[in-house]
Amino acid sequence: MAEEPVDEGDDETPEEPRETSEEPSRSDEREPPLETDGEGVVGHDPEPSESSFPEPDDDVGGISTPPDDEEMPLADHIEEMILRLAVVVLFGAAGTAVGLLWASQAIEYIWLNVFPYEIDQVPPPHVYHPLELWLTRIKLSALLGILIALPAFVYECYRFMRPGLYPHERKYYLAAVPTSVVLAAVGMLFSYVLVLPILFEYFTFYAEGSADIAYALGDTFDLIITLTGFLAIVFQIPLFIMLAIMMGVTTRRWLVEKRLYFWAAFAGLSFMFTVDPTMMAPILVAITMILLFEGTLLVLKWVGRE
């Protein structure tokens, strides 16, 4: 049997089309890897934005920044604070120097008017060590220096804090400056006209019939200066309460609920800063603080602030 001829054409397979050089290779399509330094891309310039920092009045994380708030080095803050405190010290030193010129006349006037006697019955002061008179003059003059330096201190504090204050906080602070000075003067006048006469009358009644009272000049004026200065601070209570409520720090309702805690704090402060073995001076100061506190709450209730 004859073998059939094999058709060579049937064994040929079609050739696959070869890639031409015109088609881009995958390796050419890949971009080169970017180099980074752990914080950003090196050599890659992003499109510039209009501003990389928020505006002063913009909200940053839900908190708005004051309009004049600026970043300053700590050394600049400390330098500014020292310079402003130096201005306050200069005002106080000038007031003390002026007070020394009339310190003797002031001592005589206060001594004759603070006791509950007629002028011819006022007991004379007693000096028990050589420097007592001079130290009393300096202390009384320093009280005048503090009165003069107080407005300068409040103003310099405002200038130091002004860049970090919002406009409404600046308004409250500027209104508080003259109010604070007036309240301090009222507190000193209240001490001189009402508290000190009551206190010395009680001292006289307490020792009458038991011993002859010999008032020491230095100790007596230490009590007068301490009580007068402390009441100047005590009379700031209404201002502190009003500022705290207007700035949203607290509410009148919360203060009413916690009033007994405030009463206890007032009593503790009065016994701490007005040392008196008879306990009369701290009692008078504590009553004054409580009355100022409750009176402020009544005024707030009357004006409708809760």
Query: Would 263 be classed as within a structural domain?
Result: no
Q: How does DSSP assign 243-287, residue by residue? A: HHHHTTS--HHHHHHTHHHHHHHHHHHHHHHS--TTSHHHHHHHH
> Does 223 have pLDDT greater than 80?
yes
Confidence band, pLDDT 50/70/90 cuts, at residue 202 = confident
> What tokens were used for 257?
């609920």
What was the pLDDT predicted at 289?
92
- Provide the 3-class DSSP secondary structure of residue 24: coil
pLDDT band at residue 47 under the 50/70/90 scheme: low
In a domain, 139, yes or no: yes
Q: Please state the domain count of the chain.
A: 1
Cα 231 to chain centroid distance, Å, stands at 19
Measured torsion, CA atoms of residues 132, 150, 289, 239, in degrees rounded to the nearest 10: 180
Q: Which of 257, 281, 255 is nearest to 267 (CA)?
A: 281
What backbone torsions phi and psi does residue 206 show, to the nearest 5 degrees? -65, -40
DSSP string, 31-52: PPPPPB-SSSBTT--PPPPS-S
Q: E strand or H helix at 63, and its extent?
A: strand 63-64
Please report whether residue 119 resides in a domain: yes
pLDDT at 35: 56
8 Å CB contact between 237 and 289: yes
Q: Give tens-digit pLDDT for 262-278.
A: 999 999 998 888 777 77
149 within a domain of the structure (yes/no): yes
Q: Give the tens place of pLDDT for each residue, 82-138.
A: 999 999 999 999 999 999 999 999 999 988 888 877 777 788 888 888 889 999 999
pLDDT at 61: 47
Ranges 30-34, 177-181, 280-284: which has the least confidence? 30-34
Asked if residues 94 and 145 have their Cβ atoms less than 8 Å apart, the reply is: yes
Determine the Cα–Cα distance for residues 145 and 155; give it in Å rounded to an integer. 16
| 97-112: pLDDT as tens digits | 999 999 999 999 988 8
Contact between 87 and 149 (Cβ < 8 Å):
no
Between helix 217-234 and helix 132-161 the angle, nearest 10°, is 20
Supply the DSSP symbol for 49. Answer: P
Selection from 143, 142, 151, 111 nearest residue 127 by Cα:
111
Average confidence (pLDDT) over 293-303: 89
Provide the pLDDT for residue 1: 47
The reply to whether 18 falls in a domain is: no
Phi first, then psi, for residue 60 (nearest 5°) are -115, 105
User: How many other β-carbons are positioned within 10 Å of the β-carbon of residue 39?
Assistant: 6
Q: Is 1 a domain residue?
A: no
What is the reported pLDDT for 137?
Answer: 93
Rounded to the nearest integer, the mean pLDDT of the chain is 77
Overall average pLDDT of the 206-219 stretch = 76
| Residue 259 lies inside a defined structural domain of this protein | no
Q: With DSSP H G I counted as helix, E B as strand and the rest as coil, what are the percentages for the chain, rounded to 5?
A: 65, 5, 35
- The residues near 117 (Cβ < 8 Å, ≥ 6 apart) are 123
Contact between residue 253 and residue 304 where contact means Cβ atoms under 8 Å apart: no
Structural domain for 152, as ranges: 74-235
Evaluate whether residue 289 is within a structural domain: no
- Would you state the pLDDT for residue 53? 45
CA distance 167 to 9: 98
Total Cβ atoms within 10 A of residue 180: 20
Confidence of residue 60 (pLDDT cuts 50, 70, 90): very low
Which position has the higher pLDDT, 259 or 164? Answer: 259
> What is the Cα–Cα distance from 213 to 237, expressed in whole angstroms?
36
